[in-house]
């Protein structure tokens, strides 16, 4: 049995159709059908029932596909571990972040680390909503600033930054001139959200449920921060975001107003558990120093300042 065959099984199970699975795998449908028949013969069991609409996994097939997923994930972790060591040997550190990351701390840490390690190339890697932890697990980055909540399974994480949340409103909105608002004051507003992130992440950002037990009015979806802000600016919905995003993505057609009664965003610096990469540990030391980190998180005096974000531009 080959790893390639396990990828085939997963694609067939996901798509429920050999034609779609073949297109996803960039192989011909006859070749995929032949590979599936050979694997079923090798295992001595039928993995999928064929029907007019496609295929459905048998009871045995469900078990085998579940094991295939675990095996493929483990193989990817092996590749990721090797890749991390290769990058360390080559003098490359890949730092992940989402949108505005940990604000100024993100840029300052990369710059200070590069200054102290002149022979190391620091490569920033931006992720879309809620994807930083997966990027660490699959080896796309070595260390990352992760917006919480997040699945930190298999990762070491330290909270290094917090910042308040704000509401992004289109220019001319009825609440645009306010110094601060309660989340309950926007209960009737359509709220931007994404299908790309885990549901727990979406609900935390949306403050779902609200303090009065109500649920948000879900508006349009988006795949990244630029799409979100474009739709807010045109008046399709409002959004919730960290205050730092208001500074880094300031637009004349948007107004940012602080939310006064929701918990702040916490940002963790994370890397794979047991990672023996001196570049990662060196970067973590720089971040701790710049954040004024103590056991349990950043010190209060070095926490982020609450920006002046009304009027469409951060301070």
Contacts 24+ apart (CB under 8 A), 19-22: 20/54
Burial (CB count within 10 angstroms: exposed 0-12, middle 13-18, buried 19+), residue 26:
exposed
Rounded distance between C-alpha atoms, residue 248 and residue 116, angstroms: 26
Tokens of 314: 């951060």
Distances 248 to 2, 102, 111, 261 between C-alpha atoms, Å: 47, 11, 18, 23
Distance CA 26, CA 33 (A): 13
pLDDT of the residue at 169:
97
Domain ranges within the chain, ordered by starting residue: 3-79, 81-161+267-302, 165-258
Question: How many other C-beta atoms lie within 10 A of the C-beta of residue 16?
Answer: 15
Closest by Cα among 155, 94, 157, 78 to 127: 94
Class of the 3-79 domain? mainly alpha
Closest CA to 98 of 146, 63, 61: 146
Which residues on adjacent β-strands are paired with residue 97?
126
Task: Walk along the chain (315 residues) and give the pLDDT tens digit of each residue.
Answer: 788 889 889 999 999 999 999 998 888 989 889 889 988 999 999 999 988 888 999 999 899 999 998 888 777 767 766 665 665 655 789 999 999 999 999 999 999 999 999 889 999 999 999 999 999 998 899 999 999 999 999 999 999 999 999 999 999 999 999 999 999 999 999 999 999 899 999 999 999 999 999 999 999 999 999 999 999 999 999 999 999 998 888 889 999 999 999 999 999 999 999 878 899 999 999 999 999 865 455 543 333 333 333 333 332
Supply the pTM of this predicted model. 0.69
Question: Hey, do 3-79 and 81-161+267-302 end up sharing a CATH topology, with the first three levels equal?
Answer: no
Which pLDDT does position 138 carry in this prediction?
87
Domain 165-258 part of CATH 3.40.50.300: no
- The yes/no answer on whether domain 81-161+267-302 falls in CATH 1.10.150.650 is no
**CA–CA separation, 205 vs 3, rounded Å?**
38
pLDDT for residue 307: 33
Cβ-proximal residues to 124 (8 Å cutoff; 6+ apart), any chain: 94, 95, 96, 97, 110
Cα separation of 242 and 236, whole Å?
20
Whose tokens are 């449920």? That residue is: 209
d(CA 166, CA 14): 38
* Contact predicate 310/243, CB 8 Å: no
């Amino acid at each position: 049995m080959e790893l390639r065959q396990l990828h085939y099984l997963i694609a067939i199970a996901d798509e429920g159709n050999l034609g779609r699975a073949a297109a996803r795998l960039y192989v011909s449908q006859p070749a995929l059908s032949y590979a599936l028949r050979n694997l079923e013969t090798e295992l001595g069991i039928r993995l999928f029932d064929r029907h007019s609409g496609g295929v459905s996994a048998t009871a045995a097939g469900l078990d085998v596909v579940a094991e295939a997923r675990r095996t493929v994930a483990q193989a990817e972790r092996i590749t990721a571990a090797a890749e991390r060591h290769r990058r360390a040997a080559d003098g490359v550190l890949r730092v992940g972040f989402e949108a505005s990351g940990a604000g100024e701390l993100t840029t300052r840490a990369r710059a200070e680390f590069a200054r102290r390690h002149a022979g190391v190339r620091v490569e920033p890697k931006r992720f879309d909503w809620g994807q930083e932890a997966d990027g660490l697990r699959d080896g796309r980055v070595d260390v990352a600033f992760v917006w919480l909540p997040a699945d930190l399974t298999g990762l070491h994480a330290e909270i290094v930054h917090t910042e308040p949340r704000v509401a992004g409103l289109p220019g001319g909105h009825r609440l645009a001139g306010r110094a601060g608002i309660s989340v309950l004051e926007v209960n009737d507003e359509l709220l931007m959200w994404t299908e790309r992130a885990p549901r727990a992440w979406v609900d935390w950002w949306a403050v779902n449920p609200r303090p009065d037990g109500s649920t948000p009015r879900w508006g349009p979806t988006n795949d990244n921060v630029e799409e979100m802000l474009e739709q807010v600016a045109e008046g399709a919905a409002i959004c919730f975001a960290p205050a730092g995003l208001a500074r880094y993505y300031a637009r004349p057609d948007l107004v940012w107003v602080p939310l006064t009664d929701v918990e702040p965003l916490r940002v963790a610096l994370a890397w794979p558990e047991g990672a023996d990469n001196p570049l990662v540990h060196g970067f973590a030391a720089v971040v701790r120093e710049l954040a004024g980190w103590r056991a349990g998180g950043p010190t209060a005096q070095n926490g982020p300042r609450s920006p002046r974000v009304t009027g469409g531009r951060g301070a």
